[in-house]
């Protein structure tokens, strides 16, 4: 099946670079410089991704992202330059999936786009309806794209770390034993090795959260772990 990507940007050089790098028999690039045309294209085509640049103002960009999200759940890769952190958070909350800062290496752009499309198509094939979790403006967790955003910055988690974090975050305050977490993530019986595995991955997750100045995952002594949301962390 051919993939369709909508490209919305007024920078012709960037548009030509992306089209040249990504267009193939398996990938069709539909390019436009008009927000209105972009909306029309999305309503008439089953696009697997939207790659777009920032509009003249953050409010204008928020408006078009809102319209896009009303039409499709496909990933939105935002090409940005000198955007304020507060605006980045607002755009994430409105539905932007990932950012790529200009100037960027075209190979990095292609790799990120391909990764997001793969996650999107897998979620559609599995008919998954996992919805993002938002805890104010501080913490957002997107299960489809396996992203955790803390204060507007993407946290670099492994697949296992994400699964453990998302499992606990769906039930704030609930205490999870190592056995429960192991069964959820690995779908297997917990042995001594499994308990060590959970402890190791939780330790790595907590270190990354601590590096971001957060303490969302806390120990319930003698039992296991729990997720404490930002308002009470």
**Which residue ranges make up each domain of the chain?**
3-125, 133-227
Hey, how many other C-beta atoms are within 10 angstroms of the C-beta on 187? 7
CATH number of 133-227: 1.10.10.10
Q: Which sign does the torsion angle of CA 75, 55, 23, 45 carry?
A: positive
Give CATH superfamily name and number for 3-125. Response regulator (3.40.50.2300)
Long-range contacts of the stretch 21-27 (C-beta < 8 A, 24+): 21/106, 21/107, 21/109, 21/110, 22/110, 22/113, 26/2, 27/2, 27/3
Residue 130, pLDDT > 70, answer: no
What pLDDT sits at residue 29? Answer: 94
For the stretch 137-148, pLDDT in tens is 889 898 878 889
Residue 1, pLDDT > 80, answer: no
pTM: 0.68
Higher pLDDT among residues 122 and 165, named by residue = 165
Residue 169 banded pLDDT, cuts 50, 70, 90: very high
Residue 227, pLDDT > 90, answer: yes
């Amino acid at each position: 099946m051919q993939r369709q990507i909508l490209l919305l940007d007024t920078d012709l050089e960037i548009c030509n670079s992306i089209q040249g790098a990504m267009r193939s028999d398996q990938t069709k690039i539909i390019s436009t410089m008009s927000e209105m045309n972009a909306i029309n294209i999305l309503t008439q085509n089953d696009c697997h991704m939207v790659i777009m640049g920032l509009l003249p103002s953050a409010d204008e960009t928020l408006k078009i992202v809102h319209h896009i999200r009303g039409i499709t759940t496909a990933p939105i890769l935002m090409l940005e330059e000198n955007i304020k952190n507060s605006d980045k958070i607002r755009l994430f909350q409105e539905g932007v999936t990932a950012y790529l800062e200009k100037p960027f290496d075209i190979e990095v752009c292609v790799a990120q786009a391909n990764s997001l499309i793969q996650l999107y198509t897998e979620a559609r094939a599995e008919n998954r309806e996992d919805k993002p979790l938002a805890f104010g403006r501080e913490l957002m967790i997107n299960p489809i794209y396996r992203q955790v955003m803390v204060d507007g910055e993407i946290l670099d988690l492994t697949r296992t770390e994400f699964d453990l974090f998302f499992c606990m975050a769906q039930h704030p305050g609930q205490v999870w034993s190592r056995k429960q977490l192991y069964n959820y993530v690995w779908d297997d019986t917990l042995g001594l090795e499994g308990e060590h595995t959970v402890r190791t991955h939780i330790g790595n997750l907590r270190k990354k959260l601590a590096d971001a100045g957060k303490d969302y995952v806390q120990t319930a002594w003698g039992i296991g772990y729990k997720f404490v949301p930002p308002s009470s962390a």
